[in-house]
């Protein structure tokens, strides 16, 4: 029978190659890069197996003078790099449906810090380096015309190497406010030669890169352009209805494909707190009106209806995705098979981004196998069958417990899952009710839907369990996923002792259970991720006069790694939340708090009616310690504690912990042996 989604599975010609469908994994970073080529290749190959018609690399450096360290991106500096890339192209080409492999060749400008190569970076002019930390104490050198010729030669050579490595699509990259080509396009390019001044002159270098690449490899490889059509800076930057429109019009038929987005990366990959599905359509929709070539766009599309609509409405020809392809590498196949309820939808938390920004292998909140395809041999859809008929009791249906139950049930084990509350989900159920975090509920909803489909999993909500209850249940194996509780005493990363005083103290648990303070409220954030800022939003929206303080040098410090810190600060300023960095709470009374500057030790007094402590959490591990004697005397065959009950962490780690427990069940684990492959 014809399907509404048939349009997503139509082949499309891209220059000399043909994509088998409209699912296009756009280039995205992953923390593997040149350091771990096998891990990167296995991750990309998994997406091809899952039905993505085009699978691309990350930024791939073409020359040592554009060294993106400390970040681990791709490298194709010389012929010595070709074999590593062949591992990836072979992995992608193994797909049964004929997936194509794309490579994003990169020559960055002042975003290339060259910390490894120590070469002088090229820029349109001598300008401050923004790569690395974002505040590097160095500048580029102004690229001469001879330098630009050299870059063109290096780009051409890299394209030829990419062709030898087996790539089908080769990029010319001018996006994300990083590349030399994009910086030359900028209206701030003040050069006086033929590469500066008029828009035609500023476009010249980008045109030359495209022409060079087509001449070098265009006989068998498609040449794609990745172009940011808006910097969201108004008149100070590129605008979709201004110069970006004119640039696309000038180059419309030159490349074989247009991959269009917005700049910079924090705008292109906004979290779900700030942007929803399809948010880039208003910026990119003009491109298809100017070119006959295929157009790829992104917008964190997770719904097949939204995907089909974007193509039907003429917004794009192919659905570009980074994060949705990470959350579910098998998203295309599930749509094709009509298994829409099985799609593991991206929640837009940007934990995947932190693989790159923290220089570690990529991870995902929804998909615990992401980044573990090569290291642990994990597959997102396939898991080893059970090795015994033993029953397993899992206590706690938060993220860790749900994932452990789901994966063990998938293996075929008889699983009993209990939770003290009427609703499953644990911290996810609570946190997804906070301002703008509703999409996080997908973490529990997807797992509950899968659990309901597995007949050998039995879920009992509203069932608090004592140690006696657990032993009387008779299950030989017990997994405890009992979560954690936020501390009230202020002990955290900065303070190792309780804060003295008698103020009204609240915790995130109180607020998430609708026990809200009123009046002047001081939030002390020594957690540094999203919680402090989200609770400030909640209280401000409920009429409180909020001051958010932190011992860190910036508010919500860790959210810089998820690319959302700027937006958090902007929203808090809009809500008139007072922000105070570099301070901790020294003591408190019912009406005041004494705070101390972590730099100068100067003290000041703030009026407050209540204090919300967002610091450490206490693992709820009492049951584990009560049951350990039963393990020792043989009443239990195994006892394991997982998730926040073992070690409080982010939700992604709770999911991973539950999945790891399911994979390792009935396996012999050697604690002296590294449980994953290490690339050397």
**pLDDT tens, position by position, 267-322:** 999 999 999 999 999 999 999 999 999 999 999 999 999 999 999 999 999 999 99
Average pLDDT for the chain: 97
Task: Reply yes or no on whether the pLDDT at 103 is more than 90.
Answer: yes
What is the arithmetic mean of pLDDT over 373-386? 98
Q: Which residues pair with 478 in a beta bridge?
A: 393, 639
- DSSP assignment, residue 66? G
Task: Reply yes or no on whether the pLDDT at 134 is more than 90.
Answer: no
Q: What is the CATH number of domain 497-617?
A: 3.50.50.60
- Highest CATH level, class, for 391-483+620-664: alpha beta
The residues that are catalytic are: 29, 173, 176, 268
Judge if 391-483+620-664 and 497-617 fold alike in CATH terms: no
Of the pLDDT bands very low, low, confident and very high (cuts 50, 70, 90), residue 2 is low
Of the pLDDT bands very low, low, confident and very high (cuts 50, 70, 90), residue 1 is very low
pLDDT for residue 394 = 98
pLDDT tens-digit profile of 211-250? 999 999 999 999 999 999 999 999 999 999 999 999 999 9
What is residue 604's three-state secondary structure?
A: strand
Sorted by where each begins, the domain ranges of the chain are: 6-357, 391-483+620-664, 497-617
What is the arithmetic mean of pLDDT over 388-402? 97
* Residue 595 host element (H or E): strand 592-597
- DSSP assignment, residue 299? S
* CATH tag for 6-357 (out of 3.40.50.970, 3.20.20.70, 3.30.230.70, 3.40.50.1970): 3.20.20.70
What is the arithmetic mean of pLDDT over 329-334? 98
pLDDT for residue 425 = 98
pLDDT for residue 85 = 98
Sorted by sequence, the CB contacts under 8 Å of residue 172 that are 6+ apart come out as 105, 155, 181, 206, 209, 210, 213, 223, 224, 225, 226, 255
Task: Reply yes or no on whether the pLDDT at 413 is more than 80.
Answer: yes
What is the arithmetic mean of pLDDT over 618-629? 98
Burial class (CB in 10 A: 0-12, 13-18, 19+), 545: middle
Within a 10 A sphere around the Cβ of 37, how many other Cβ atoms? 21
Angle separating helix axes 399-411 and 442-453, nearest 10 degrees: 30
| C-alpha distance from residue 568 to each of 220, 273, 561, 577, 618 (Å) | 46, 9, 13, 11, 27
Cα 628 to Cα 380: distance, rounded to the nearest angstrom: 33
* DSSP sequence for 197-262: SSHHHHHHHHHHHHHHHHHHHTTTSEEEEEEE---S-GGGS--TTTHHHHHHHHHTTSSSEEEEE-
pLDDT for residue 583 = 98
Cα 302 to Cα 446: distance, rounded to the nearest angstrom: 13
What is the arithmetic mean of pLDDT over 487-509? 97
pLDDT tens-digit profile of 156-213? 999 999 999 999 999 999 999 999 999 999 888 999 999 999 999 999 999 999 999 9
């Amino acid at each position: 029978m014809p399907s509404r989604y048939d349009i997503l599975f139509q082949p499309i010609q891209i220059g000399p190659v043909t994509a088998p469908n409209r699912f296009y994994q756009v280039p995205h970073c992953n923390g593997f890069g040149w350091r771990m080529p096998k891990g990167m290749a296995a991750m990309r190959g998994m997406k091809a197996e899952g039905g993505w018609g085009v699978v691309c690399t990350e930024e791939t450096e073409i020359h040592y003078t554009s060294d993106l360290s400390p970040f681990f991106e791709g490298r194709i500096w010389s012929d010595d790099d070709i074999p590593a890339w062949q591992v990836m192209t072979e992995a992608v080409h193994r797909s049964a449906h004929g997936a194509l492999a794309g490579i994003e060749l990169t020559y960055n400008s002042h975003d290339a810090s060259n910390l490894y190569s120590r070469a002088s970076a090229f820029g349109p002019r001598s300008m401050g380096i923004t790569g690395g930390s974002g505040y590097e104490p160095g500048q580029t050198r102004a690229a001469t015309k001879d330098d630009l010729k050299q870059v063109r030669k290096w780009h051409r050579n890299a394209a030829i190497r990419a062709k030898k490595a087996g790539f089908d699509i080769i990029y010319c990259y001018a996006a994300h406010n990083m590349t030399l080509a994009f910086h030359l396009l900028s209206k701030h390019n003040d050069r006086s030669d033929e590469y500066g001044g008029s828009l035609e002159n500023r476009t010249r270098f980008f045109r030359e890169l495209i022409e060079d690449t087509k001449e070098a490899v265009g006989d068998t490889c498609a040449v794609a352009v990745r172009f940011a059509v808006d910097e969201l800076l108004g008149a100070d930057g590129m605008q979709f209805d201004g110069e970006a429109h004119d640039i696309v019009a000038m180059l419309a038929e030159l490349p074989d494909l247009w991959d269009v987005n917005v700049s910079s990366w924090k705008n292109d990959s906004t979290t779900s707190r700030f942007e929803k599905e399809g948010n880039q359509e208003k910026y990119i929709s003009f491109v298809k009106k100017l070119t006959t070539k295929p157009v790829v766009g992104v917008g964190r599309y997770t719904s097949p209806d939204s995907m089909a609509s974007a193509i039907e409405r003429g917004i794009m020809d192919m659905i570009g995705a980074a994060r949705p392809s990470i959350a579910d590498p098998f998203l295309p196949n599930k749509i094709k098979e009509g298994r829409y309820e099985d799609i593991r939808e991206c929640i837009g938390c940007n934990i995947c981004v932190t693989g790159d920004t923290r220089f570690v292998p990529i991870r995902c909140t929804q998909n615990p196998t992401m980044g573990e395809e090569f290291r642990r041999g994990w597959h997102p859809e396939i898991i080893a069958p059970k090795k015994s008929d033993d029953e397993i009791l899992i206590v706690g249906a938060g993220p860790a417990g749900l994932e452990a139950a789901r994966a063990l049930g998938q293996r075929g084990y008889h699983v009993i899952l209990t939770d003290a509350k009427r609703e499953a989900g644990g911290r996810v159920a609570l946190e997804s009710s906070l301002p703008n975090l509703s999409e996080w509920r997908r973490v529990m909803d997807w797992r509950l839907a899968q659990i309901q489909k597995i007949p050998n999993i039995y879920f009992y909500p509203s069932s608090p369990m004592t140690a006696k209850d657990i032993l009387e249940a008779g299950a030989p194996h017990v997994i405890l996923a009992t979560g954690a509780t936020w501390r009230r005493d202020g002990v955290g990363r900065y303070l190792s002792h309780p804060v003295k005083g008698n103020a009204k103290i609240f915790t995130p648990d109180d607020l998430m259970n609708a026990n809200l303070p009123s009046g002047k409220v001081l939030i002390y954030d020594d957690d540094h991720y999203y919680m402090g800022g989200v609770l400030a939003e909640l209280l401000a929206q409920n009429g409180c006069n909020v001051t958010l303080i932190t011992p860190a040098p910036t508010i919500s410090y860790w959210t810089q790694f998820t690319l959302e810190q700027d937006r958090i600060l902007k929203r808090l300023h809009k809500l008139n939340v007072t922000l105070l960095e570099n301070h901790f709470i020294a003591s408190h009374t019912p009406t005041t708090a004494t705070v101390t500057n972590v730099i100068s030790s100067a003290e000041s007094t703030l009026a407050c009616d209540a204090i919300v402590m967002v610091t450490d959490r206490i693992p709820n591990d009492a049951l584990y310690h009560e049951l350990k004697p039963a393990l020792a005397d043989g009443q239990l065959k195994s006892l394991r504690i997982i998730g926040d009950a073992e070690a409080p962490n982010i939700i992604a780690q709770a999911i991973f912990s539950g999945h790891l427990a399911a994979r390792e069940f009935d396996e012999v684990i050697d604690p002296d042996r590294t449980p994953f492959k290490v690339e050397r």
